[in-house]
Amino acid sequence: MQDLVLSGIQPTNIVHIGNYIGALKQWVEIQHRHRCLFCVVDLHAITVPQDPKMLRENSLRMAATYLAVGIDPKRSHIFIQSEVPQHTELSWILETIAKISELERMTQYKDKAKKRGENVGVGLFTYPVLMAADILLYDTTAVPVGEDQMQHLEFTRVLARRFNETFGETFIVPQPLIQKVGARIMGLDDPHIKMSKSASSVLNYIALTDDADLIIKKLSKAVTDSDGKIVYDVKNKPAISNLLTIYHHATGKTLPEIEAEFSGKRYGDFKKSVAEALIFMLSPIQEKITLYQQDPGQLQKILDAGRTFALDAAEKKMNIVRERVGLGRS
């Protein structure tokens, strides 16, 4: 069986450097070694209310972002999840073997449910099953994600094994691919919570589309730790360690190299350098997002090709699944 990597991001208004460092940056490297499918998961996005027009715009912008960061459509397939209805079909089938108690343990669900109070849709609850369907549908062997998706990945593995035990060997049990440094980028305004697009303050994150002035401003306001030293120590110096991680990913320098570079320097100097490195990293991406958006024909062609590939692969797999479960006629 050939290796296949699949991953996806929800098409929301903001893509932040946590998404980039935790997921997108890994994807770009992985595509040179594996066959890859990258999905814009719009069905996941509607688990919270969305403006329909904005959602479509965001889906296209997300596809443009995949390309702009360096996903090569000659190597990898890019498609929009809802254009391949087999995802929801498999999700339903997997729901019949998923347990309510398992879904109730999902921390992302618990966090979101806490924020939304009474207003929690069923889709938010069953969301991890749809994610499992995204992955299992393509015989995915590895899934590059940030650490916050680890629990969903473990659940996917449980469902794959359970299905195989019940209906016979059908799904590959996928492996998570999580970076050693950068799997969990923390908020600039609070190093104890992860950087998040739903954060209450824009000072929490750097968006891939933030301009130079905004990046400088957000970095200058970023929280630091108290002892004035620029060393990597996640437990005792979470804020500076987070900035070191970001700088490491923006420059490619190792953590010891960075510690040496800033030994004896002040936090202010370091934050200025982090801002400069981010501007340097993000400006070509920003230019390319604009270029892809200005050429919607090219984007559409890439998404059409991705859909054709995904539909074919998904239908082949679903034929096997339907047969195993005994659905329809032979």
| Interface residue list for ligand TYM (CB under 6 A) | 6-10, 18-19, 21-23, 41, 44, 131, 134-135, 143, 145-146, 148-149, 152, 183-185, 194-195
25 among known catalytic residues: no
Q: Rounded to the nearest whole angstrom, what is the least distance from the CB of residue 282 to ligand TYM in the complex?
A: 16
Measured from the CB atom, is 11 or 73 closer to ligand TYM? 11
Q: How far is the CB of 177 from ligand TYM (least distance, A)?
A: 10
**Closest approach of Cβ 10 to ligand TYM, in Å?**
4
3-state per-residue secondary structure call for 110-124:
HHHHHHHCCCCCHHH
Rounded CA separation 153/188 (Å): 27
CA atoms within 13 A on the CB side of 157: 13
CB 265 to ligand TYM: min, Å:
26
Catalytic residue among 194, 218, 237, 317: 194
* Cβ at position 187, least distance to ligand TYM in Å: 8
Does the active-site annotation cover 237?
Answer: no
Does the annotation count 317 as an active-site position?
Answer: no
CB-nearer residue toward ligand TYM: 105 or 266: 105
Cβ nearer to ligand TYM, comparing 6 with 314? 6
Which residue's Cβ lies closest to ligand TYM?
22
Active-site residue, from 25, 53, 197, 301? 197
Closer to ligand TYM at the Cβ: 95 or 260?
95
Which of the following is catalytic: 74, 99, 110, 112? 112
Residue nearer to ligand TYM on the CB measure, 73 or 144: 144
Residues forming the active site: 112, 194, 197
